[in-house]
Amino acid sequence: MFPTEPAAVNNGFGALLKNRNFMLLWIGQLVSQLADKVFFVLMIALLENYPPLPGLAESSMHSTLMVVFTIPAILFGSAGGIFVDLWPKKLIMVGSDVIRGFLTLAIPFLPREFLFLLILVFAISTVTQFFAPAEQAAIPLLVRPENLMAANALFSSTMMGALIVGFAVGEPILSWSKDFLGEQYGQEIIVTGLYFLSAVMMQPITMKEHKAPETQQVTGKPWTELTESLRYLKKNRLVVNAMLQLVTLYCVFAALTVLTIRLAEDFGLKEKQFGFFLAAAGVGMVLGAGILGHWSVKLHGKPLPLIGFLLMALVLGVFTFTHNLLVALGLCALLGIGAAFIGVPMQTLIQQQAPPNMHGKVFGFQNHAVNIALSLPLAITGPLTDLLGLRTVLVAMSLIVAAVGVWAWKNTRRVLQDVI
């Protein structure tokens, strides 16, 4: 379907479009991301058919489902990365999709009890913790180093696009499946089909796996593997710095998820329309990723993460001083561009700096750290806003983001200018 990696050196999206293996990975990832979002919409839709657990209020079922969905990321994020370094990455990705597909197909055959639904959601989320680090570790194996920036830009933009589109089209897709595939099994069949399609797309991928040392292959001691990754990160200041910047970025977005509900009220919108602001930020991330992917060579050596942090800080500081909805949405898009200038280069840097035999553990630890860090802003942003007010919280976030950006660049600029 696609020719193999071109012989001539070519940068940007053009080279990626000619790389058959990368395109299969990208399309498979896109379909899998869509399946994840539609699956989550399905879980929310199914709740009306499940009575709550004894002592659990019906209104708390949604939050309980979300908590169970996120717990595996905190518990098994690093463990998933360990196995990525021990097993073939394509096997993990394809196997994860197939297992998630069969688990989804089992829903109609399980008792209509909320506990069984929670167990199934927990299982599917656990399997996802293996897919994510395997996918990140596969990218450097499929593209040349000079194309990593463009590759991560494409992945970041489509991941955000799937987030925006997936939740938007989830309900129509599920409604269509009930009409054409049957009321009892239709919704589960369509989600299972998406997972299986992702597996089929990635099956033809060929990649040269890094052969781990024999001692590593037979150790079978996850704790030893985890401590090895921690020792590596302790020695590699550049990778740790990149992870800290990514964690800061995700913390800002977690806080904004809470704050946009209050912002929606301030701009005369309904609470449930807070997604407009997040969608605008997502569009900005897609634009930013496109800029990085298309002009990655010309942007080499530029202080991209510093620009990104300062841009986000500016938007956060200015946000509460505007009362025009269109201007606010434009600011959100600008914030998304700044986020792309941080996320894409830092992810590329980690892929370049981490040795191949450590990719899985490093990306597993990264996902683990991000998911743990997300819980703090989600927990404290609401109470702080009630106590100090929305404007104070946003201005404080602006100062913190600017300080982190300046500190990170000051500590690593000499190395970063040669790497990104």
200/215 Cα distance (integer angstroms): 33
- Which three-class secondary structure state does DSSP give residue 267? coil
How high is the mean pLDDT of the chain?
A: 82
Is pLDDT larger for residue 376 or for residue 40? 40
Q: What is the pLDDT of residue 365?
A: 81
d(CA 136, CA 351): 8
Token pair, residue 174, equals: 């599920």
pLDDT, residue 215, reads 45
CA distance 6 to 11: 11
Q: Name the least confident of 175-179, 208-212, 250-254, 331-335.
A: 208-212
The pLDDT of 317-333, averaged and rounded, is: 87
Reduce the DSSP state of residue 200 to 3 states and report it.
helix
C-alpha 264 chain-centroid distance = 24
Q: What is the pLDDT of residue 413?
A: 65
Q: Tell me the HSE value of 214 on the side-chain side, using a 13 A CA sphere.
A: 0
- Report the half-sphere exposure of 92 (CA within 13 A, side-chain side): 25
Amino acid at 171: E
The predicted model gives 173-177 an average pLDDT of 89
Q: Which residue in 39, 70, 94, 15 sits closest to 254, CA to CA?
A: 70
pLDDT in tens, 46-80: 888 888 888 777 667 877 887 788 788 878 877 77
Consecutive H or E run containing 136: helix 114-142
- Taken in order 333, 69, 383, 401, the sign of the CA dihedral is negative
What single DSSP character describes residue 206? Answer: -
| CA-to-CA dists, residue 144 to 19, 185, 303, 411, angstroms | 10, 44, 22, 28
The torsion angles phi and psi of 11, rounded to 5 degrees, stand at -115, 170
In this model, does residue 168 exceed pLDDT 60? yes
Q: What is the pLDDT of residue 309?
A: 93
Q: Do 279 and 327 touch, CB atoms closer than 8 A?
A: no
Segment 95-109, tens digit of pLDDT: 999 999 999 999 999
Cα distance between residue 87 and residue 55, in whole Å: 43
pTM greater than the 0.85 cutoff: no
CB of 284 within 8 A of CB of 332? yes
Nearest Cα neighbor of 193 from 206, 176, 210 is 176
Region 181-205 average pLDDT: 93
Residue type, 80: G
